[in-house]
Amino acid sequence: MKKILLFLFSLLIGVVLFIWIGKTVGWQEIKNAFLAFTGWQGIVIFLTTLLVMSFSNWKWLEILRGEGVEISFKGLFRSYLAGFSVMFLAPILFWGGEIFRGYVLKNKNFIPWTKSMSSIIIDRIIEWTANLVVILLGVLIFFFMIGLPPAKLAVIFGSIFLLFAIGISYFYLKVFRRESMVELVLKMLGIKKLGGDSAVIKTENEIFHFFKYKKKFLWRAFAFSFLRTGAAYLRAWLLILFLGKEISFLPALSILGFTFLAMMIPIPAALGSHEAIQIFAFSALGLEASMATAFTMLIRGAELILALAGIIIFFRLGISIFKNTLFKKDSLTNN
């Protein structure tokens, strides 16, 4: 019964997401996004976006291998795209995409919940780490080139960055000291200590076990994470070139940093926030503000196509899990 309710809930989320996409983004905008990728330049941007996603999936694959789990790239990519669609279109559903990825691994690929969720938490931490490195370098280069920003803008950018930087730093400090963060949170909430058999404690132990500085899978995961940022950089540089402007390495890195910064703001598809940030960045770097809007829309268009594909996979995986649940239930009843 629990699995059936979870399926119906996931189905409801999928339907709401699909309707919400049409109303918020606009059906005409969705149509324009597809039309923008009919020319060879659009296809190149779409393929580089697909490369970004592929490196993200490879990163997750290496993390699972480090936990002793073998799974095909193709099978994992379906779960990744389904989770990405939720993260991209409904970031306000905190960790909704990640939980769905873990649910699919557990029910479709029969991977223990502790290993599936620990792999996803590790995946997000490593990705945020790489993103913060790019944001820091990009923002420092940007301000070195143009000077200090207005006070209000500095407070906004600084607050968002510091929030994530402090969180990541605290995580690494606790992990390398092997100090339980779960027990600390429980103590703050006045909840009694969990036993060693608890799924939460087991998941945390899986994370501790993975983050060993000599562990080859950890460094492979970091390598794929930075390859992902490299592919994202290539996409940004090519897109600006296709829009009619040549740009050197350092300004392009700044623009990528602002793209990653916009992704940290929990707004669906970074609508509005990405435009506002890039208009400021493009104008300060001597590029047209209108180019910034085209830049953000084309990136969003490529990612939207993949997110829509992810929604379809979301439905199919949910239906498949539902059928498997009914089959198991019927088998148990007959026996």
What pLDDT shows up at residue 331?
Answer: 47
According to the model, what pLDDT value does residue 324 have? Answer: 57
Count the neighbouring beta carbons within 10 Å of the beta carbon of residue 74. Answer: 8
Output the pLDDT for position 200.
78
Q: What sections of 2-148 are H helices per DSSP?
A: 2-21, 27-35, 40-66, 73-89, 96-108, 113-146
pLDDT at 268: 61
Mean pLDDT by 10 residues, the chain (335 residues): 51 54 56 61 90 95 90 89 81 69 80 88 91 87 73 66 78 79 68 67 83 81 95 93 84 90 70 74 81 81 86 74 53 48
CA distance 52 to 121: 19
What is the model's pLDDT at position 330? 46
d(CA 112, CA 234) in angstroms, rounded, equals 37
The DSSP string of 253-309 is: HHHHHHHHHHHTS-SGGGTTHHHHHHHHHHHHTT--HHHHHHHHHHHHHHHHHHHHH
Q: Parse the chain into domains and list their residue ranges.
A: 2-334
How open is the CA angle 7-319-47, to the nearest 5 degrees?
Answer: 110
- pLDDT at residue 241, as a whole number: 86
Q: CB-based contacts of 310: which residues, under 8 Å, 6+ apart?
A: 81, 82, 83, 84, 85, 86, 88
Residue from 281, 225, 238 nearest 258 by CA: 281
Tokens of 71: 């799974």
